[in-house]
Structures are given as structure tokens and as C-alpha cells.
Structure 1
Amino acid sequence: MVRSPRAQRWLGHASLALLSVAAVAAGSLGDAATAQAVSPNRVADFRVSDADLPNPERGFYRAADTDLGALDPAFVAKTYAEGDRLIYARIDLAPYRDRDLPAAFLERLERGFETARRGGVKLIIRATYNYPRGETEYRDAQDASLPWVLAHLAALKPLLQRNEDAIAFMQAGFIGAWGEWHTSSHDLTAPEARTRIKDALLAATPNRFVQFRYPPYIQDWSPEPPDLAAALDGGFRLGFHNDCFLASDTDVGTYDDDPVPRERQRRYVDALGDLAPFGGETCNPADDPSPRPRTTCDDILIEGQRFNLTYLNEGYYRRPFHDRWRARGCLDAVRARMGYRLALVTANHPARVAPGGELAVSIVVRNLGWARLYNPRPVEIILRDGQSGVMRRLPARGGEPRRWLPGSDSGATLTVTVPDDAAGPQEILLALPDAAPRLKGDARFAIRLANADDGAKGQGWDATSGAFSLGTRVEVVGKSVAP
């Protein structure tokens, strides 16, 4: 097995750390802990799976035909059954451009969020005041005045925060045709107006990224993307969605007509994808005066990787893009690589531990996808009793899945406190559940690792618990160290 130098260095440090933990424990845990210090560690390696593995908050999405408040449970069920985990849902504000949002309207939106939650999917949300149905109608689309936009955002804020668990990403919306921040009938793309709307959007969704349609606007607010730490602590949550991805040299007005600033914008978006989610859809390039759509497999595979493509519309303008990718044999690769794709490389932990003691499980994870995880997610170590089958889910310290970057191996030492009542052989499983209390126990929202089941090694995905069995066991022996 070939490991990156980074992974090799990390494994060396991890081995030293494990010996140190064992040595300290030996002084206080008695004979059982001493046995742990001198006994060999349990080591496992894993095979990568090339199977299509649907996972939360990534991949192709389906666009709902209705407003969020009328989201159809049958449509959600079909989406889930056919392997997609994202649905684009509009909040249709067209009837309320100059009046308050009725309580009944907000209640319908609440039910829409619950429909998605029950169906096992997450939502890409955008609020709009219009949705033109043609290639010219958009020029006459009407939005709302700035005071009404801010009032509507204030009314939506409690709803969005209550249902943040069902939201994967928020698209900025509100301004112009389709909420795409162009052709505003109330001059909302003026710098002061768009900045006030941006600030209100971020305040309304404090734990989710908000994606904007045009790179120059994002550059105005943040001329240089910050470091990863700013995204991890929530200090930076500006993302980009491209609704004419690959459609022309400028992606139909997404980028500047002038090649020099256009390349600067593309470099900026390239760097932004390391921090914030990028997604969108392909489109008809008819509005471009000299369109040269990029439709080959090389185009999507190179640009998907470059810009960290996390999601893409499953159904819009397929013929020159999706259908061609299928015909030329790369659609499955696009489906597999959008967003994150996490696979275990190795795992290493002590053979024995005392009840009440600390168990350190060192892992190396490879991200085979185009992007990282963007929303917070915990790591759990599950101990499954080898005799009774009782499962103990233990929150792990020392793991941050959002740092498992695409195209690299990442090491982590996951530490848990073994329950006082645990005894005997315990099978070890690794879980990446949803962070939200309402979804944490729902295995449909857990991340399925891209590893192959191996019955001979005891390795495999447990769909009931939403966890992957490492095929290793730790023996819990001796007396508890709890007071």
C-alpha cells in the first residue's frame, strides 16, 4: 500500500502518542492497563469501494416543481429511492412583494421542512419574488423593495433557524429574476442594498453557508478568501453558486467579458471552493453572443475538481452536458466525486483497555471526492458488546471531518471514555452522524464511508446504526478507574 508522505509522518506520530497514552495508563490502572501497554495494538486496513454511495449534502439534486410549502412527500420518497439526497426548494414570495408574510404561509413552509426531514433528504433553499418561464420573460421580472426584503427576511429568520437541520445550503435569492441577483426592478444590486441583504441572510442562517450568484459581489465583501480556520469557526460563510456552469467562456455572464478580470474571478472561485460549497446547474447558452459550451468529460472532470463541485442539478439542460457525459462514460465518475467521498485507509487501537479508561483509535481517512464537508458533523466510536450485542455510542474527541480535505489523506486520533459498565470483547465501529439532535439518531443522515464490505475481516456497513465496523475488537478488562 502506498501512503502519502503526510500520512506516513502522521502514522509515526500517532504510534508514539499511543505508546505514551499506554505508559501513563499503566501507572494507574493496575494489571489490566499494564497488559494494554505491552500487548500489540489491533491494526486494520481497508479496501476502497467504487460503488455508487448516496450521502447527505452532496451529489445531484432534484428541483421541486412546487413551493417549499407544497413539497410533495411522494416526490421526496422518489428522490431518496433513486439515490439522490438533495432537493432544491423555492420559497415563493411572489404574492407578498408589498405585504407581510401570513402566519398560514409560514406554517406551510414549516410543513415543507418536515416533509424533507421525514423523507431522508436535505434542502437547497432559495427565496424568490418571481420565477420567469422563458428566455426573455426574465427581463420584466419584479422583485420587492429593500424594506420589504428585510422585513420578509426578519419574518423567515425564526423558521430558517428552527429548521436549519434540514437545510444543506442557502442560496441568496430575493434579488432580481429567479433570485439570481441580476435585473432587479428595485435596484437591489446596488452595493449598499446587496450588502444589507447579505448581512440579513447570514444572520438568518447562522450555521449554514449562503451562496451568491456572482463572484465580483463576493470579492467586494472579501477581497481575499480567508484561511480554513475562519470557515470552521463560522466567521466566513460566503459561497458561490453557478447556474450556467460550463455554458460559455463567461458562463453566460457569470464572469467578466474581459479575459483578464475573468481569469482573476475564476482563480478566486477556485480558492473559495476550499472554504465554501460550490454548486449549481448547467444552462442554455443562448443568451451568450458567441457561446462555446464546455461539454466533454475532460471539461467536467477538470473543472469539477478545480472548483470543488459539491452539487449539480440532475434535470436541467441535460442534452449537451449530462447526456454527453453518460455517452462518453464519465457520468458515474461525476456522480461519485461530487462533494466529499471519505474512505478509511487504516485504523489502529490498543488491544485492551479498562472500564472508565481512555480508548484512542487512530485512523487515516482518504477523501476521494472533489470537496470537503462544509457543515459541522461529529465523529462517534461505537462499542458493540461481543456477547450481548449492546451498542454504546461514544462521542469522540480529536476528530474534525471538515478538515479531511479532497485529494489527500488525513490522520486523526479519536479518543473516547469507555463506560464503567462495559466488559469483555467490544467490536469497534466508526460513525459520522448528523450534528442536529433531531437527525443524529437517523441512520439515513449518517455518512456512508466509501469502503468495501469484507466478511472475512468482519468489516462492513451497518445500515441500522449508520456506522462502519472496523473488523477489530478491544477487550475491556480490569476494574473501573471511576471514583
Structure 2
Amino acid sequence: MRGSGAMRRAALALLAATGAVGHAGAQEGVEARFAPSEAPLANPERGFYRASRGDLDRIDPAFLDAAYLDGYRLIYARINLEPYRTAPLPADFLGRLETGFAAARRAGVKLIVRAVYNYPRGETEYRDAKDAALPMVLRHLAQLKPVLQANADAIAFVQAGFVGAWGEWHTSSNGLTEPAARGAIKDALLDAAPADRFVQFRYPPYIRDWAPELPTPATTIAQGFRIGFHNDCFLASQTDVGTFSEDAGTRTAEHAYLDRLGEVAPFGGETCNPADDPGATPRTACADILREGARYNLTYLNADYYRRLFHEAWARGGCHEAVAAKMGYRLALVSVAHPAQAVAGGGFRLDLTVRNDGWARPFNPRVPVLILRNRADGALVRLNGDVDLRGWLPGESKALPLATTLPRLMPRGTYDLLVAFPDPGARLANDSRYAVRPANADDSGKAQGWDAALGAFRTGTRVDVR
């Protein structure tokens, strides 16, 4: 008996050394902790993005493949409506949009989509940009609705578009910035976009008019709030080249509002050339992007524009990798605990603690999945959790209890435990390229690490199923 006790104490010491600790109680359990990683991660629906080569209806699949291999998971794709300002969208055009979404899906990327009636090539040509009359805009949105909703899984965010130069809502050749017209287009956009995707608008005063009182982060999902902001001249000047008011007091109020908005809705965009704003003082230092990226909860940013003034300065200042790492969500596993034994057909609970080290929360639906892998034959059992990761705010650590029932016919044996955050879309759920990789370091000594084939993180713990 003494020998058995000594052997047990030795075994417990070994488990403690590997991060899986047995403890006494009503039921013996195992626990493990995880080391964080500071490295940038290529995760879905966040980070630096690239603009597609070719509009969505003529998108270049080779470009998408290359972008994925270079670590980009977001692609900006323009829906070019310029040929149809005065005519309905033809069926073959809508079919080509479907083909573009399919190409993105095959490449492992998601799209930021924006429909526009013009795309001026210079910083002054926008004055002559033409858009469509309100009835045609609404007709086009009705035609795009089934295409957008059928391809929700390939869409990360919808930028409002349609109105004015570049679809940025500050000008219009058809009076679309008048309150009644812009309200009608806003409502049609929210109706046409997938029901669980945000629509981002370019002009802060309009967003404040529509939503003067913002929901709290805890009530955003329940209230169905889906209006976000994109800034295509982020950091470029005192007013971000006309994005914000010339009046200092009004501008301060706009900044405060967008600070709150970033907690409940996605913020992204691009930097730009400040040449169109006389006397501009662009905010190019690392301190600027690190401060404002965190304040406004930056989720994504154009990787290519305006590089010379901004991105290259961040590289020289030594913060470019930190910006890449912090944008959007950054979920890190902290600890896990669960029983050492379970019964097929019986209940099983895993307590997982997750911390969000990013600048923003996840904005699209995603739930955890527990994967049990049989050590004898590699067979997998997947058990879905019921906690929505959209509730994870920056800087928060939360316990994530996964209470489930094991399948009654589950083979008896010893199973390794892995945690996954797959895409909920039926076409992407088993595609590991769309799974979120936790910001944790691999540790072979603890049998912890990323399984790229499964899109799951090995916890280094196991359970005996009887």
C-alpha cells in the first residue's frame, strides 16, 4: 500500500510538471495552463487587408491564393455598379458575383464588400463623380440582397457604398445625402446585408443621427445593432481629411462617440494621402497608431495604402508587428479544467478561461467546439459549446464553461482534448483555414500546440471515457 501511494504521488508530480494536475475532490480532475504568444497571427475577419485585383465579378483567383499565402485573411472587393447607374442589374452580372464569392471561399479568405457607382482616380476627381437616383439604388439593393445573404459565410463586413464618390457618402449627384434618401438607403442596406453582418458607414454625423444612444456591449447582440464605421483617411490630418468636423468641439464629441461605437461595432479602413487637407499634420508615429488603434478598437486596415507615410514609419519605429498582432480580437487560452474520467452518454463539463488581448471583440458569430481525439485510433468526437465569442471585450478574461453530454455510443478509451473556434458557416465549419488560432505558444513538453489540420489547439490534457 505504501508503495502504491508513493507511485501515485510520483505520478501526480509528473502530471504537475506537464501542466495537467490531478486534485482530490468528489471527482478527480485535471487542469492545465497555457503560455501566451506575442507573434502576429493570420486569423479570420481581422488584421491587415489587401484590395482585390479586379472587381468582385471579375476577381483574380490567383491573387486571392497569393494573398492567403502571404498571411492575409481579409480582402476588399468592390462591386462595380458604374455600368448600371440607370438600369437594373443583369442576371449574368449577379452570377459573376456568385463566382467571385466562391473564389474567395476556395482561397480561404473573407471579403469586405462595397458597391459603388464610381471610383475616382485622384484626390480631386471626386467632385465630378456620379451616382444613381434613389429608386435605382433601392432596386439594385433588392437585386443584391439574395446574393449577399447566400454568401454570408464569405463576407466579413459590408461597407455601405452606393452614395457619392467612392461610395463614401460625403457627396452625391442625386441628392442621396439628404436625410430622407440616406435613411432609406441605410434601411435597405441593413435589410440586404446578411442578418448577422455589420454594415459600416463612412460619415460619422450620419451614424450619430441614426443611433444617438448606443447599446452597451452586453446588449448589442440582443438588440440586433449592426451599424459600424469605416475611416478611409485614418490618422491623415486633424479632421482625417474631412471625416470629422472642422469645429474642434464638435470633433471632440464625434471622437468620443466613435470611441464608444468601437466597443459595439467594427471599425476599420485605411490611411490616406493628406494632400487634400491644407496644413494637415498626419499622425504617423508608433505612439499614434498604438494609442488610436486601441481607443477606437481597430479591427482591420489596408496593408497597401498609404504605406510610404504610415506603414513604413511604423516599421521604422518598431511597432508594425505589434499593430498586426493587436488589430481585431486576439483570443488567448489561459487555463482549462475538466474531470479525468467520464461516462459515455453522461454529462461532461470543461471549464476554459480565455483572454482577449486584441483591440476589439469578435464581431461575427463564433462558438467554441470541444474535440475529443481517441488516442488509440484517432477517431474524433466534436461537441459544440453554447457561448458566443462576440461577448469577449478587449482586455477581458472570461470563464467559458462547456457543459455537454457525451454521445451514448461513443467508444470507450482515452481521449486527448482539443479546443477549436471554427467558422459557424456550414460550408466552412470543417475548413481549418477559417478556424481561429489562439494566441498561445506551442509547448511540446506539455503536449500543447496548434493542430493545423484540425484547426484546433491541443490542451495537453486527456479524459478516460468508460
Determine the C-alpha separation between the residues in 2 that align with 1:437 and 1:382. Answer: 18
Partner of 2:140: 152
2:165 corresponds to 1:177: yes
Partner of 1:442: 431
Instruction: Give CA deviations for 1:296-336 in whole Å, capped at 9, x if unaligned.
Output: 00000000000000000000111110000001100000000
Identity over aligned residues, as a percent? 59
- Farther off after superposition, 163-172 or 36-45: 36-45
Partner-residue secondary structure (3-state), 2:382 = strand
- Contact preservation (8 Å) 1:36, 1:351: no
Partner of 1:261: 250
Within 5 Å, give how 1:189-338 maps onto structure 2: 189-205=177-193, 206-233=195-222, 235-338=224-327
Partner AA of 1:275 in structure 2 = V
Partner-residue secondary structure (3-state), 1:139 = helix
2:372 corresponds to 1:383: yes
Determine the C-alpha separation between the residues in 2 that align with 1:304 and 1:98. Answer: 40
Partner AA of 2:158 in structure 1 = M
- Contact preservation (8 Å) 2:229, 2:267: yes
The structure 1 residue matched to 2:458, chosen from 463, 469, 473, is 469
The structure 1 residue matched to 2:118, chosen from 121, 130, 152, is 130
Instruction: Give CA deviations for 1:428-478 in whole Å, capped at 9, x if unaligned.
Output: 11010001101111000000011111111111111111100110011112x
Determine the C-alpha separation between the residues in 2 that align with 1:70 and 1:37. Answer: 62
Partner of 1:116: 104
| Residue segments in structure 2 that go unaligned for 5+ positions in a row | 1-22
Report the aligned-residue RMSD: 1.2
* TM-fit CA distance, 1:40: 2.7
Determine the C-alpha separation between the residues in 2 that align with 1:262 and 1:409. Answer: 33
Partner of 2:392: 404
Partner-residue secondary structure (3-state), 2:264 = coil
* TM-fit CA distance, 1:51: 2.2
Partner of 1:457: 446
- Farther off after superposition, 304-313 or 456-465: 456-465
| Residue segments in structure 1 that go unaligned for 5+ positions in a row | 1-34, 478-483
Partner AA of 1:441 in structure 2 = N
Instruction: Give CA deviations for 1:141-180 in whole Å, capped at 9, x if unaligned.
Output: 0000000000000000000000011000000000000000
Determine the C-alpha separation between the residues in 2 that align with 1:229 and 1:330. Answer: 32
Partner AA of 1:240 in structure 2 = F
Partner AA of 1:147 in structure 2 = P
2:104 corresponds to 1:77: no
Determine the C-alpha separation between the residues in 1 that align with 2:452 and 2:76. Answer: 26
* TM-fit CA distance, 1:241: 0.1
Partner of 1:6: none
Partner-residue secondary structure (3-state), 1:273 = helix
Partner-residue secondary structure (3-state), 1:248 = coil
Partner AA of 2:346 in structure 1 = G
Determine the C-alpha separation between the residues in 2 that align with 1:147 and 1:234. Answer: 29
Partner AA of 1:61 in structure 2 = Y
Determine the C-alpha separation between the residues in 2 that align with 1:50 and 1:346. Answer: 17
Determine the C-alpha separation between the residues in 2 that align with 1:171 and 1:351. Answer: 48
Structure 1 length as normaliser, TM-score? 0.90
CA gap 1:146/1:230 in 2 versus in 1, 3 angstroms: farther
Instruction: Give CA deviations for 1:266-306 in whole Å, capped at 9, x if unaligned.
Output: 01000001000000000011111220110000000000000
Partner of 1:55: 43
Partner AA of 1:194 in structure 2 = R
Determine the C-alpha separation between the residues in 1 that align with 2:443 and 2:409. Answer: 30
Partner-residue secondary structure (3-state), 2:324 = helix
Within 5 Å, give how 1:75-114 maps onto structure 2: 75-114=63-102
Partner AA of 1:296 in structure 2 = A
Partner-residue secondary structure (3-state), 1:66 = coil
Partner of 2:352: 363
Partner of 2:9: none
Partner-residue secondary structure (3-state), 1:469 = strand
2:160 corresponds to 1:165: no
CA gap 1:36/1:396 in 2 versus in 1, 3 angstroms: farther
CA gap 1:93/1:36 in 2 versus in 1, 3 angstroms: farther
- Contact preservation (8 Å) 2:48, 2:74: yes
* TM-fit CA distance, 1:420: 1.5
- Contact preservation (8 Å) 2:286, 2:319: yes
* TM-fit CA distance, 1:378: 1.9
- Contact preservation (8 Å) 1:36, 1:353: no
Partner-residue secondary structure (3-state), 2:246 = coil
- Contact preservation (8 Å) 2:53, 2:60: no
Instruction: Give CA deviations for 1:198-218 in whole Å, capped at 9, x if unaligned.
Output: 000000112210000011101
Determine the C-alpha separation between the residues in 1 that align with 2:52 and 2:385. Answer: 37
- Farther off after superposition, 421-430 or 150-159: 421-430
2:341 corresponds to 1:352: yes
- Contact preservation (8 Å) 2:423, 2:435: yes
Partner-residue secondary structure (3-state), 2:353 = strand
Partner-residue secondary structure (3-state), 1:411 = strand
- Contact preservation (8 Å) 2:331, 2:356: yes
Instruction: State the 4+ residue runs in structure 1 displaced beyond 6 angstroms.
Output: none
Partner AA of 2:345 in structure 1 = G
Structure 2 length as normaliser, TM-score? 0.93
